[in-house]
Amino acid sequence: MKILTVDIGTGTQDIFLFDSNLDMENGFKLVIPSPTMMIHRQIKEATRLRTPILLTGKLMGGGPSAWAARDHASAGIPTYATPEASKTLDDEPAKVEKMGIKIVSDDEALALSGAVQHIELRDFDFPLIAETFSRFGIPLTNLAAVCVAVFDHGDAPPGFSDRQFRFDYLDERIKAKNALSSFAFLSDDVPPIMTRLQAVADSAKDLDAPLIVMDTAPAAILGAGFDPVVSARPRKIIVNLGNFHCLAFRLGEGGGPGVFAGVEGVFEHHTGEIDRPKLEGYIRALADGSLTHQTIFDDMGHGALVYGDHPLELDTPDWQIAVTGPRRSLFQGVIQPSSFSLHPYFAVPFGDMMLSGNFGMLAAAADLLPELNEPIRKSLQGKTGIAPWELES
């Protein structure tokens, strides 16, 4: 049984082809530029050549691609976008037009096609991934499922904070089903407000396998938990330090009035807005239950939620904090010795930190597709053991 997992971040897209016949460590993997970075480079080259561009396709991750499009228009070079593609830049058309980017209909876009460079936007490009694997003799056929993770702010109403909107969504999902897999959906079940997840589902309608879409941060937290050292701790805080967003979950087994089994608390911030002392302060406050939503929100983060009053004691002989994500170096380096300083464990599930999100998606797939549960769980528990060459015999 094979499952393709694709974790799409700001800097990279991390791809893992799960094969239930293989040890997890022997699964085929790719860590390559993210779609938004690929679009960023295309637009930057068009800017260098002063070539007009037309953005079409789907809503996708912004950041680098959106900045490049804005700079292209600011340089006085004609820049066009179809209504769906323009949502990558901003959900509100007036704000897109204010950047100097003209929103055009599909018919107008067709009339422009000979005079501009056409750049198609989408987060998930299955044909490209399949072609890449095929060049190494690995056909992506007869897949049992495909899992894709992206970060989605959601479609906030005009004038409503997208940071608050996303955090309200996190609260809703935790209360609906207190498990990290509650942030994963079969493609037909994506909440209408999660427009980026829906765009991924729309771009993969031709797949011959079930599609699961998931939020990147809970996927990484869930995957980091398969590090054997992390999994041995019944209660812990796992921090995902992504390129754009930092998200920390306090996790436990429950016990005590008002304490949720599973997620006991969470905060989400922007990685670029925090340094190590600030991050450590927020982690300690999450652990003891004193962290408030307003504290994080007023610091330009998304917010915080603490469920129940069952604090996690950090000052114990054994660590209770694990870190994953491409910006985990925020916790590295020499700092002034202090009793305040935290010394977290750097999680490496199946020997590969960059694939934490992929392993988390696999665990979510086991929950959403019961027919796949047994082989996935067996692999995640390290109970396979066939070498790659044995598959060919």
- 385 pLDDT band, cuts 50/70/90, is low
pLDDT above 50: residue 337 = no
Angle, vertex CA 204, rays to CA 147 and CA 240, nearest 5: 35
For the entire predicted model, the pTM comes to 0.92
For the segment 254-270, what is each residue's pLDDT rounded down to a tens digit?
Answer: 544 444 458 999 999 99
pLDDT above 80: residue 181 = yes
Q: Which of 285-316 are b and which e, b meaning 16 or more Cβ less than 10 Å from the residue's Cβ? A: bbbebebebebbbeeebbbbbbbbebebebee
Q: Tell me the C-alpha distance between 292 and 267, whole Å.
A: 9
- 45 pLDDT band, cuts 50/70/90, is very high
Q: What is the pLDDT of residue 317?
A: 54
- 109 pLDDT band, cuts 50/70/90, is very high
Q: What is the pLDDT of residue 148?
A: 98
Q: What is the pLDDT of residue 339?
A: 45
Q: What is the mean pLDDT of residues 84-110?
A: 94
Q: Tell me the C-alpha distance between 59 and 76, whole Å.
A: 24
Q: Tell me the C-alpha distance between 319 and 346, whole Å.
A: 11
For the segment 286-326, what is each residue's pLDDT rounded down to a tens digit?
Answer: 999 999 999 999 999 999 998 877 888 886 656 678 999 98
- Please provide the average confidence, as pLDDT, over all residues in the chain: 90
Q: What is the pLDDT of residue 390?
A: 59
C-alpha R_g of the chain? 22
The distance of Cα 248 from the centroid of its chain, to the nearest Å, equals 13
Place of tokens 């700092």: 335
Q: What is the pLDDT of residue 387?
A: 59
pLDDT above 90: residue 359 = yes
CA nearest 143: which of 270, 19, 253?
19
Q: What is the pLDDT of residue 391?
A: 56
Q: What is the mean pLDDT of residues 339-364?
A: 89
Q: What is the pLDDT of residue 178?
A: 87
Let me know how long the chain is.
Answer: 393
CA nearest 274: which of 262, 282, 266?
282
Q: What is the pLDDT of residue 323?
A: 93
Place of tokens 């980026």: 196
CA nearest 209: which of 147, 150, 149?
147
- 203 pLDDT band, cuts 50/70/90, is very high
Q: Which of 5-36 are b and which e, b meaning 16 or more Cβ less than 10 Å from the residue's Cβ? A: bbbbbbbbbbbbbbbbbbbbebbbbeeeebbb
Q: What is the mean pLDDT of residues 170-187?
A: 92
Query: 303 in the Ramachandran plot: left (φ > 0), alpha (ψ -120 to 50) or beta?
Result: left
For the segment 10-37, what is each residue's pLDDT rounded down to a tens digit?
Answer: 999 999 999 999 999 999 999 999 999 9
Select the more confidently predicted residue: 340 or 70.
70
Q: Among 78-92, 218-232, 308-322, which stretch is predicted with the lowest mean pLDDT?
A: 308-322
Q: Among 176-180, 185-189, 254-258, which stretch is predicted with the lowest mean pLDDT?
A: 254-258
Q: Tell me the C-alpha distance between 265 and 209, whole Å.
A: 34
pLDDT above 50: residue 48 = yes
Q: How many helices (H) and strands (E) does the chain have?
A: 15, 16
Q: Tell me the C-alpha distance between 10 and 274, whole Å.
A: 18
Among the residues of the chain, which ranges form H helices? Answer: 35-49, 64-74, 83-86, 93-98, 106-112, 126-134, 162-176, 195-202, 216-224, 228-231, 276-288, 293-298, 356-368, 373-380, 388-391
Those residues with Cβ within 8 angstroms of residue 216's Cβ, 6 or more apart along the chain or in another chain? 7, 8, 9, 149, 150, 151, 242, 357
Report the 10 Å Cβ neighbour count for 187: 19
CB 366 within 8 A of CB 373: yes
Q: What is the pLDDT of residue 151?
A: 95
CB 256 within 8 A of CB 263: no
Amino acid at 257: P
Q: What is the pLDDT of residue 189?
A: 97
Q: Among 196-200, 311-315, 381-385, which stretch is predicted with the lowest mean pLDDT?
A: 381-385
